[in-house]
Amino acid sequence: MTNPVWTQHFDVNTIVLDHQKQLSLVGLLNLLQDTAWIHAEQLGWGYDALVEKGTIWVLSRQKVVMKEWPMWQDKVTIRTWPRRSGALMALREFEIVAENKSGETRRIGECSTSWLVLDWNTRKVQKLDKIMFGVPSLSEGVLDISAERVPPRSDLGEIARFEVRNSDLDVNGHVNNTRYAQWVTDTLSLDEMKRYAIDEYEVNFLAETLVGDTVVIESETGTPDADGTLLRHYQGRKTTEEKPAFTARLKLRPR
């Protein structure tokens, strides 16, 4: 039986750094995405296998919680496993471990994700029991966090607009999940990036966005808690739609 736990190693190099020489949120999401892709291929449920069945994987929800962020020249180990799934959502979890230049290791974060299988042509959600069977998964030793629903808000104001371009797309032809995090973090000022570290990132994907769409990013200023942490809500809406295409939350902590 194929091992349900997959381990992938990465260097924190210039490809995934931010301007403060630490692993960026978008860099981390790319590493998580790559690890999930590789493991799905090993399990026989990767991109090509689903396309042959006329279906595709799409990320529906994601929650990342980080205690600290590794720096340039650190190493990152990501462990991932499928978790016992429901009728429609396939769950995948991640554990993130960092190793510094002295060889010291520490568990620095975790991530929970929920995935849907869509019909390639109709984009309708498919029931997992009709498509998948025999996929190894864990029901014990799983994470305490889960990717929950982030409800839309009616009290958020426009703070930015982004036009979807070719470089935003993934292999399914819609905007890559990591690009939404890029849009959200690009709305932070340089001063905020210096004063705060990202403690948590949570996102729900509600509709596809495609080349030519213009996405309005809406948010709030937010009020810091007594310990200085700041929870800020976001959502993105295509200019041709009233309902959001995604909702998100950032929890920021003082550096």
Q: Kindly report, residue by residue over 176-215, the tens digit of the pLDDT.
A: 999 999 999 999 999 999 999 999 999 999 999 999 999 9
Give 156's contacts (C-beta < 8 A, 6+ positions apart): 218, 219, 220, 233, 234, 235
Q: Is-same-fold flag (6-130; 157-254)?
A: yes
The structure tokens listed for 118 are 């869509």
Q: Kindly report, residue by residue over 95-136, the tens digit of the pLDDT.
A: 999 999 899 999 999 999 999 989 989 999 988 876 655 566
Selected from 3.40.50.1820, 1.20.1250.20, 3.10.129.10, 3.30.230.10, the CATH number assigned to the domain covering 6-130 reads 3.10.129.10
Over 60: is that where the pLDDT of 1 sits?
no
In this structure, whether the domain defined by 157-254 belongs to CATH 3.40.630.30 is answered with no
Q: What is d(CA 61, CA 43) in angstroms, rounded to the nearest whole number? A: 21
Please provide residue 177's backbone torsions phi and psi, each rounded to the nearest 5 degrees.
Answer: -60, -30
Question: What percent of the chain is modeled with pLDDT above 70?
Answer: 94
> What was the pLDDT predicted at 142?
75
Domain chopping of the chain, boundaries? 6-130, 157-254
Please check whether residue 255 is in contact with residue 213, taking contact to mean a CB–CB distance below 8 angstroms.
no
Report which of 197, 182, 166 is spatially closest to residue 236, judged by C-alpha positions: 182
